[in-house]
Structures are given as structure tokens and as C-alpha cells.
Chain A
Amino acid sequence: MIIVTGSSKGLGLAICERLCSLGVDVFGLSRDISNSPFPSMSCDISSYNEVKKVVSTLKKENKEVSGLINAAGIASMNLAVTTPPNISQKIIETNLLGTIYCCQLIAPLMMRKKHGSIINFSTIATSLGLKGESVYIASKAGVEGFTRSFAREMADFNINVNCLAPGPIDTNLLKGITAKQINKIVSQQIIPKQFSPEAICDLVELLLDSKSSSISGQVLNVGGV
């Protein structure tokens, strides 16, 4: 079974749909799971206790977990000086702490089997240091650092941990960003084009596949920087 956070919309949903189409057993985590077409559980990943409840449920149901995709995330495009503290806190709690909580609580389900793959999500904006995204970038830089270190901790258990850092993908996370702004970011990539959610799903498939078992602790900037 592959656990996907942020499964109700955006990249998380696209990844779930792709995996389901491949016949993979998917389990979604999201705050809103109404109308979920695949098995899901309501969970606010920024709450350690809620993630713990999910793990407890999975254990009771004897679910065998072989992968975790931390796709849940929020964004707020603001200059640092105009970002209210509650927004900064929410971004850090969801993007960084949420990823950490899911990794530390769900990884033991894979450690027992000495097999698994964890995929975290950052953004190409972290490498580019884009203006107006400093708090969001701070949270994602944390995810990248966590990924590199956590990958070493998991290596003894044959669990690969990597991070995908896409550019502006066409999802609801981009609402409020103009085409001009998107083009400006895309033009800084080595491959200057806006990638689709399907391209990210291809990379997820690759990182879940045993063919990528030699890759761990890496941050893959989609489109290149």
C-alpha cells in the first residue's frame, strides 16, 4: 500500500489517480475526504496526534505499507515583511512539520519490512530563491534538509527517501499567480517549460520503482536549475 498525503486535490490527487490506474493499493490522507474514490482517512498532517491515529488504524488493520508520498502542502505568496505570523506558522506546520510527522510515524511501518520508498515535496523556488515566497521557501528548504538526513537514517532499513522539487505545476496551489510570473520562473529552469501533473506522476512512478533503488537522499529539481 502507498500512503499519499494531500490526496483530495492538486498533485496529491493526480498521484493517487495515477497509482490507482496502475492497480496500486492507495491510501489517501487529507482533511477533506468526502467523495474520495479510493480508501482514505481524514487527517490534518500538521497534528502529530492525528497522524498517530492514522498509523494506529493501519496497524490494527494489518496494512502493509511500502511507500509514503508527502504531497500535502500549502503556499502563500507574500513578501516576508507582510506575512502575518499565523500564516508563517501554518505554512511551517503543514509543509515542514507535517512532512516530518508523517515520515517519523509512518516510516516504522516500512522499517519492519526493510523495504520502502518515501517521496517528499519541495519546490524549484527553493533553489532559485524566488522573491515573494520566502516563508514558503523556508518551509521547503527544511523539507529538503530533512530528506537528505532522514535518507541516511533510513538506509539501513532499505528505505529510499527522496524529494521532488517541481516548478509551477498547473494545480490549485498556483491560484493567484499570473501567467507572467509563471513564465518568469519557468524561464529560469534548464528546460524552460511548465510541466504537467502527469510529468510529476511519471517521476513518482520512477522513484517508487525498484529500478530507482540506487537513488536516495536526492532533491530532484523538475526542469533543472
Chain B
Amino acid sequence: MTEIRQAVNQLIIDVIEDKTIQVNDNTPLIGDGSVLDSMKLVELCLSLEDFAEEKGFEFDWTSGQAMSRSRSMFRTVDSLLTEFLSQMEVKK
């Protein structure tokens, strides 16, 4: 799990253009203070899809819940990691 968390974390860092930004579990990915614009968020989703495929499951980022601002998996780095791992557990 730690390995997966690190890999997903790295994917997030890779799409952030400003390399001086320090990313931690509470870094928001959408809304106020977000480190990604909408296009970068989509790029991240595509990278996560590819990574999930490597790990043998389909990562779904298009559900209503994924896109809900209040419950979104993109609220923070930690919520995205949690959702990714949860989908991996359920679908594998």
C-alpha cells in the first residue's frame, strides 16, 4: 500500500507545473488553494487510469461522487489516495 501511495503521490507531483510547491496529504486538488487547474486535473486522471490498468483494475473518475465538489475524491491529495486504494481493493 505504501508503494502505491508513493506512486500516486508522484503522479500528482508530476502534473504540477510549479515544482516549488510542496505537496502533502492536505494539499487541495480542486477549489480554493488548488495546485492544479482543470486541465491538469484531467491529465492526472488519465495518468491514474494508466497506473490503475498496470495494477489490474479500472479507475473510475467520472462518477457523480468523483465530480461532487463537497464529496469529491479530489478534495485533497489524501482523499484521492484513499479513493484510489479503495477502488483497487473493491475491483481487484
Within 105-161 of A, Cβ neighbours of B (below 8 Å) are at 105, 108, 111-112, 153, 156
Evaluate contact between A108 and B39: CB separation under 8 angstroms.
Answer: no
Complex-state Cα separation, A200 to B42, whole angstroms: 33
Contacts of A210 in B (CB 8 A): none
Indicate if the CB atoms of A112 and B62 lie closer than 8 Å.
Answer: no
Task: Choose one: A104, A111, A153; the contact of B46 (CB below 8 Å).
Answer: A111
Nearest B residue to A59 via CB reads B58
**A-side interface mostly:** helix
Interface contact B58-A108, CB-CB below 8 Å = no
Say yes or no: is A90 at the interface (Cβ < 8 Å to chain B): no
Instruction: Report yes or no: A111 in contact with B62, Cβ–Cβ below 8 A.
Output: no
Instruction: Give chain B interface residues in 30-55, CB to chain A under 8 Å.
Output: 38-39, 42, 45-46, 49-50, 53
Given contacts A59-B58, A104-B62, contact A112 B46 (CB under 8 A): yes
In the complex, the chain B residue whose C-beta lies closest to that of A156 is B39
Query: Hey, which chain B residues are within 8 Å of A18, CB to CB?
Result: none
Which residue of the partner chain, among A59, A105, A156, contacts B62 with CB atoms under 8 Å?
A: A105
CB distance from B45 to the nearest CB of A (A): 8
Q: What are 16 A-B contacts defined by CB distance under 8 Å? A: A52-B62, A56-B58, A59-B53, A59-B58, A108-B42, A108-B45, A108-B46, A108-B49, A111-B42, A111-B46, A112-B46, A112-B49, A112-B50, A153-B38, A153-B39, A156-B39
Residues of A within 8 A of B39 (CB): 153, 156
A-B interface contact total, Cβ < 8 Å: 18
1/0 per residue, CB under 8 A from B, across A57-84: the answer is 0010000000000000000000000000
User: What is A's interface to B at a CB cutoff of 8 Å?
Assistant: 52, 56, 59, 104-105, 108, 111-112, 153, 156
CA distance A108 to B50 in the complex (A): 12
Shortest CB-to-CB span from A60 to chain B, Å, is 8
Sample of 13 further A-B pairs with CB below 8 A, known A59-B53, A108-B45, A108-B46: A56-B58, A59-B58, A105-B62, A108-B42, A108-B49, A111-B42, A111-B46, A112-B46, A112-B49, A112-B50, A153-B38, A153-B39, A156-B39
Closest to B50 in A: A112
Task: Give chain B nearest CB distance to A83 CB in angstroms.
Answer: 29
What are the residues of chain A within 8 A of B42 when measuring CB–CB?
A: 108, 111
Q: How far is the CA of A112 from the CA of B62 in the complex (A)?
A: 15
- State in angstroms the CA–CA spacing of A186 and B38 once bound together: 42
A24 to B12, CA, bound (A): 37
CA distance A154 to B45 in the complex (A): 15
